[in-house]
Every structure is written in structure tokens, then in C-alpha cells.
Amino acid sequence: MLPETNISFCTEDPVLQRVYDAAEEKCRLNLKDFGGRTVLVEGGGYEKIWLETQPMGGEMYALRNPGAALNNCLLFMENQREDGRLPGSVALRSGSIVPEFNKYQGFCFPFPALNLYYLFGRDPSYLDFLKEVLSRFDACLWRTRHLTGDGLLSSFCVYDTGEDLALRYGNAPCWWEEDTPPEGYDVVPMASMDVTSWSCAARHTLAEICRIQGDPAAGEWDLRAAETARALRSGLWNGRRSACFDRNRQGNPVDVLCHNTLRCMYWGSLSQGMADAFVRNHLLNPREFWTPFPLPSVAADDPAFRNAPENNWSGQPEGLTYQRAILALERYGYHSLVTELGKKLIAAVDRSGCRFTQQFDPFTGEPSLVHAVTHQPVSPGSGEPVQDAYGPTLLACLEYIAHRAGIRPCLGNAWFSLGSGVAFEASAVFYGHRYEVQSDGRRAEIRVGGKSIGVFFCGQRVITDENGALLRTVPIDSPEYFS
């Protein structure tokens, strides 16, 4: 029996309310029955659950449907192969659940899976299961993807890191089912900042699980994570250029300035100094990643950039990148950048009439219109069914709202985000408590279990323990970047 959860939000800001209500409604379209179990599929024409999106997506949806959130993690955990490999996706075919092992498809899994442990009653058996899954997965990575003894792990195909049509992969295969490296290709096997960072994330989470359990192996996992982070820095980080660059099969840098250093921030594999350098020199550079609508997959001034409207990771900003950017930036203290990105995403979605597409034009913010099934570009007014209800964009909008003006559970704590200038009321139930905020945009009162814990100035996030005891505050408005 899962604990009670729910969430509500009401604001005087008409744009926020329109996008919130539309996202809530369209998210329900992505709830599907997988063999008698409710899951939240990726949506927008993608009917599977994918390792790069749906554990993260389910966790973001957990206060609305805890069963789907748990299944979005458990279906990967339960279908782990004996050798430790997790399926890159899980499909439903003829009523049967089918795990697919023809790519890794990213690894946005450890943080959401651990957050569900806190959210759903701190079940020790779930924690034991998660610990086993992560340790076996990490061992599989090092057994099959550590090819040169330099501490770097390799990508074998385009879909290992989920970068469909990315020019930087050259002639690499889209899929690769074998655990032996491909031969005869120009770029792969490629020493990968993504794949190496997966191990960092798994090891950091294993260390945290050990600390929760009182297991002295926590220190060993911390050391292993640090070793992998050092290998990433020495092998893939270019200090002069303030970014990571993968290395091709010959060991040469793949000279494309892509957004994947931000992905490394999501997995926590960069030092604070590395993250600061990337944000300062690249993420906030209007010629590169801070375009009028930010976060293209490849820097807008890079020769490999393509402003292609179909699912193409060589250019246009992706809803999935916006979804991952929240944890990536807040992990390194850039809370106010999350506020600014949320404003831009929500404004663009509202201008589109609340159409939630996979990609957006980085120069105009217009949603890229593609066919709802084939994902090929379509013309406005063509009469063709157009993609909508793409899950990462839907959930990113709901999350950016919650991280600016709302309530969020995080690893046993409660986050109350009090954005200035936004009058709103929010309530949520989790951890066995009811949490409430009433804000006029200048000051906000927070209540836990019906009791006021204080009135706070807006423009900050108030972080408490589960019982409402104040732990710290962080600024979430963004004058230091955008005044």
C-alpha cells in the first residue's frame, strides 16, 4: 500500500495557470496499462518507457500518481539482465512486457529511484533492491565498456546516449546489441562523458544508500566515484575550452561543442569549478547555448549545429534537456538559472497555445511541428496529426513551476519555492504530512500539518526537514545573471 500523495496549485498569474492546467490534463494521456501495471510513457508518439526519461518522469509525477512513478522504476529494476545490464527501454507488445537491450539509452535513474525511497515510506527492502541493481549495473559497465584502461567508459552506438541523428556520431550505428565493441566505424567505440558519468552517478548513489543503511562500504563507493570523476577530468575535460569533449576510436577529441557537459552536471561527475567554467563561458553565452530560446543540443555557432525540426540532437533545444537541466543546475547551486529557464520554456509553450512538442527553434522559441507518429516535419495547416503531449516537455513545465512557485519533496526534505512577484497557493501531501504555501508575491506563509512555521520573504527557496524544521534557504530569483 503506497502512502497518500497529492498536489494542488493555484495562481493569479494567467500564463502559469494556463500552462499548469494544460500540462496536468495532457500528462494523463500518457498513463498507460502495461500488463496490468500503470506506467507513464514518454508520450508525444513514443509509447515505451525509456531509461533516459521515464524513471525521472515518473518520479516527477509521483505526487499525482505514485503507482506509475514506482512502476516506471521497478520495470527497469525487475528486468535487469543477469549480467547487470538494464534495458534501455521497456515496451508492451501483444499484452506482454518486453525489455529491450539494443542500446543503453541514457541513465536518468539513480536520483529519481532514491527519491522514491524517501517518498514511499523508506522501505528497507526497496533500498536493498536498488543497491543490488546499481552495483550490478556499475559492474556491467566496467566489464563491457572500459576498453583502454584509462578509467573512461565507451558509447557503442547513437542510441546509447539517446542522441538521435547527432552529427558528432558520424557513421556510428543507431543500435548495438552486443557487449563487444563495434568495428569498422569512424567514431565509435567512443570514450564518452555520458557513459563515464553514469558510473559516477551510480557510485554516488550507492555511497548514499550505504550511509542510510549504516554500511561502512559508503567510503569505498565514494572513493570509486572520485576515481571516475578524476578520469573524466584528465581524459575528456578541456580546461582551456571549459567543456568536456568525447574521444573517438583513435583517441582524438570529437571537436563538437555539445550540451553534454550539462548532462555531466546532472549526473554529478564534474567538480564545482568545472561546472562554473562551463556555465560562465558556454551556457550563458548567447552565441552558443543562451540563444533567445536557450539550450540547443549543440552550440549555435558550432559547425555541427543544425536547426532541424525533427528529433535531431544536432541543434534544436529539446524538452528532455530542459527536464534534465533542473537537477543539473540546482546540484551546482544555480537555482536562479532554473527560474530563468522556466520562464522561457513556459512563455514559449503558452505562445504556442499550450502545445507540448519535443523541440523548439532556438532563435524564435517556436515549437517544431512534427507528425504525431512519424516525427517528420509537417506544415502548419496541413491537416496532418501534429505531435503534442510530449512527456519531458509536459513534466519540465510542471517542475519549473514547482521550482519557482510550489512545493517539492527532495530526498527526505521539503522544498518550498517562493518566487517573487507570483501570488499563489499550493498544497501537497507526502511523507505523511500536508504542506501548504500561501503567497502574495512579496511574502509567503508556510504551514506543515496545519501549523504555521513562519512567514518568509519571496525570492527564495525554504528547505525544511519532513516535519517542517528549517534547514536552509537559497535564492531563486535571477538578478545576478539577468538584471
8 A C-beta contact, residue 438 and residue 10: no
Phi then psi dihedrals of residue 468, to 5 deg? 95, 5
Amino acid residing at 36: G
Same domain (yes/no): 379, 433 = no
**CA–CA gap between residue 315 and residue 295 (Å, rounded):** 9
Inside any domain, residue 1: no
Inside any domain, residue 6: no
3-state secondary structure 372-417: CCCCCECCCCCCCCECCCEHHHHHHHHHHHHHHEEEEEECCEEEEE
Torsion of CA 436, 437, 438, 443, to 10 degrees: 150
Same domain (yes/no): 269, 180 = yes
**CA–CA gap between residue 243 and residue 321 (Å, rounded):** 17
Grid cell for residue 3: 502512502
Same domain (yes/no): 340, 416 = no
* Cα-only R_g, the chain: 21
Same domain (yes/no): 210, 283 = yes
Res 246: pLDDT: 98
Same domain (yes/no): 430, 306 = no
Same domain (yes/no): 317, 229 = yes
Inside any domain, residue 5: no
Grid cell for residue 89: 527501454
Phi then psi dihedrals of residue 405, to 5 deg? -150, 80
Same domain (yes/no): 353, 418 = no
8 A C-beta contact, residue 395 and residue 24: no
3-state helix, strand, coil in the chain (%, to 5): 35, 20, 40
How many alpha carbons fall within 13 Å on the CB side of residue 282? Answer: 27
Where is the domain boundary, 359, 383, 409?
409
Inside any domain, residue 380: yes
Res 483: pLDDT: 46
Same domain (yes/no): 479, 399 = no
Inside any domain, residue 4: no
Q: Which residue do the cell numbers 525521472 mark?
A: 56
**CA–CA gap between residue 204 and residue 216 (Å, rounded):** 14
Closest of 205, 31, 217, 6 to residue 119, by C-alpha: 6
Inside any domain, residue 7: no
Where is the domain boundary, 390, 409, 428?
409
Amino acid residing at 157: C
Q: How does pLDDT run across 364-418, given as a tens digit for each residue?
A: 999 999 999 999 999 888 889 999 999 999 999 999 999 999 999 999 999 999 9
Closest of 442, 263, 319, 381 to residue 26, by C-alpha: 319
Same domain (yes/no): 227, 110 = yes
How many alpha carbons fall within 13 Å on the CB side of residue 456? Answer: 25
**CA–CA gap between residue 204 and residue 219 (Å, rounded):** 10
Same domain (yes/no): 394, 437 = no
Element (H, E) at 428: strand 423-430
Q: Which residue do the cell numbers 575550452 mark?
A: 241
Inside any domain, residue 9: no
Where is the domain boundary, 409, 443, 463?
409
Q: How does pLDDT run across 205-252, given as a tens digit for each residue?
A: 999 999 999 999 999 999 999 999 999 999 999 999 999 999 999 999
Number of structural domains (the chain) is 2
List, in sequence order, every beta strand (DSSP E) within 196-258: 237-238, 243-244
Same domain (yes/no): 439, 326 = no
Grid cell for residue 255: 571537436
Amino acid residing at 269: S
Give bridge partners of residue 244 from the DSSP assignment.
237
| Residues 6+ positions from 303 with CB-CB distance below 8 Å | none
**CA–CA gap between residue 472 and residue 456 (Å, rounded):** 12
Q: Which residues of the chain, if any, have pLDDT below 50?
A: 483
Grid cell for residue 183: 568495428
**CA–CA gap between residue 166 and residue 466 (Å, rounded):** 43
CATH number for the domain spanning 59: value is: 1.50.10.10
Q: SS3 of 112, please?
A: helix
Res 383: pLDDT: 85
Res 481: pLDDT: 57
Grid cell for residue 61: 509525477
| Residues 6+ positions from 415 with CB-CB distance below 8 Å | 403, 407, 408, 409, 461, 462, 463
Inside any domain, residue 306: yes
**CA–CA gap between residue 342 and residue 322 (Å, rounded):** 8
Res 480: pLDDT: 59
Grid cell for residue 387: 505531435
Same domain (yes/no): 211, 100 = yes
Read off the DSSP letter of residue 369. Answer: P
Range of the domain at 59: 15-409
